[in-house]
Chains A and B, each alone.
Chain A
Amino acid sequence: MKRKTARFPSKPCAPGDRTEFARLVDAYSAPIYRLGLKMLGNQQDAEDVLQNTFLNALTHLADFEGRSSLSTWLYRIASNEALMLLRRKKNAVNLDDFHPDDAEESPLPEVFVDWSALPEDELLSGEAKMALDAAINKLPEPLRMVFILRDIEGVSIKETAEILGLTETNVKTRLLRARMFLREQLSAYYSERLTREETHERPSP
């Protein structure tokens, strides 16, 4: 499967070097904005995550010691900002929500309709895109964060673990559960479309 390789500058800028910082902001804005958009589900919150991430980065740039890569460091700030905003919006702090029981077995698949060969313009119609967004929004937050980093942004398992302070095994477990959850949601949606199409093609006499 094709993976986007982020071509980010590997060395952070010296504190006070505004040209370098502006370059860094442009290089990382898109993935951080997308992370906010997918985690929070709306543009206003995504913009807050974006601004807070870089304000925070600007304040702490001098402390960045290069122990992790710059992208790991920025993603870590961004994921914390997104989770903090989510918690504030929920108005109830339930830390357990963010630490699911990774030992628990994944639910088993229920829909076995193969919709994977539907044409792409149908799979990505305006209505279908809304269904994709709705499916991501339904994903429990800890699974959503792992899915966004690994499958949408193409971050490696190892780096995702580093960003979120999880073990690689935890990341793999959450990724599998997220993928299964989304597959189930999409299967329900697309199999209904398939049925509608078949009914349409072969109207009953």
Chain B
Amino acid sequence: MSDHLHKNCQDLLGSLSEYIDGGLPPDLCREIEKHLEGCDNCRVVLNTTRRTIDLMQIPAEEETVPTDVRERLFKRLNLDDYLNRQK
């Protein structure tokens, strides 16, 4: 990072999350995109941050409540008679 302490890079990093989420005004977006064109390191940080978020979402989508966990939950809540209804 020692060769990467330009003020522009630090400004970009501060706005990176909002840039990824699309919450920035157009003029600031253009400024960021202009910087990204000329800065390899910031492009890497952007690409890998986006990918990090994607990767964390993908396995989570597969995680549902296991059948035995659901059964124990319904019993604990005295909802046993609803266990077999369609989810």
> Which residues of A are in contact with B by a Cβ distance under 8 Å?
1, 4, 18-19, 21-22, 25-26, 29-30, 33-34, 37-38, 43, 47, 50-51, 54-55, 58, 106, 108-110, 112-116, 123-124, 129, 132, 136, 147, 151-154, 157, 172, 175-176, 179-180, 182-183, 186-187
Contact = CB atoms under 8 A, between A and B. Distances in A.
Contacts of B70: 26, 29
B48 A114 contact: yes
Contact of B77 (A33, A58, A151, A183): A58
Contacts of A108: 1, 4-5, 10, 13
Contacts of B82: 18-19, 22
Interface string B54-85: 11111111011110011011101101001001
A23 to B, nearest CB: 8
Contacts of B33: none
Nearest to B18: A172
Contacts of A19: 82
Given A112-B44, A179-B20, 11 more contacts: A1-B54, A21-B79, A33-B63, A108-B10, A112-B41, A151-B53, A151-B57, A157-B21, A176-B14, A179-B16, A186-B55
A3 to B, nearest CB: 9
Given A29-B65, A30-B64, A116 B56 contact: no
List of 5 A-B pairs having minimum Cβ-Cβ separation, nearest first: A22-B82, A116-B51, A176-B17, A116-B47, A114-B44
Contacts of B41: 109, 112
B76 to A, nearest CB: 5
A19 B54 CA distance: 36
Nearest to B63: A34
10 contacts: A1-B20, A29-B65, A33-B64, A54-B77, A108-B1, A114-B48, A172-B18, A176-B17, A179-B20, A179-B53
Contacts of A152: 56-57, 60
- Give the residue among A50, A109, A110 with the most B Cβ atoms within 10 A: A109
B87 A183 contact: no
Given A18-B82, A50-B73, A172-B17, A186 B52 contact: yes
Nearest to B79: A22
A50 B55 CA distance: 24
B79 A38 contact: no
Given A151-B53, A186-B55, A175 B17 contact: yes
A4 B62 CA distance: 13
Contacts of B21: 1, 157
A168 B50 CA distance: 21
Contacts of A21: 77, 79
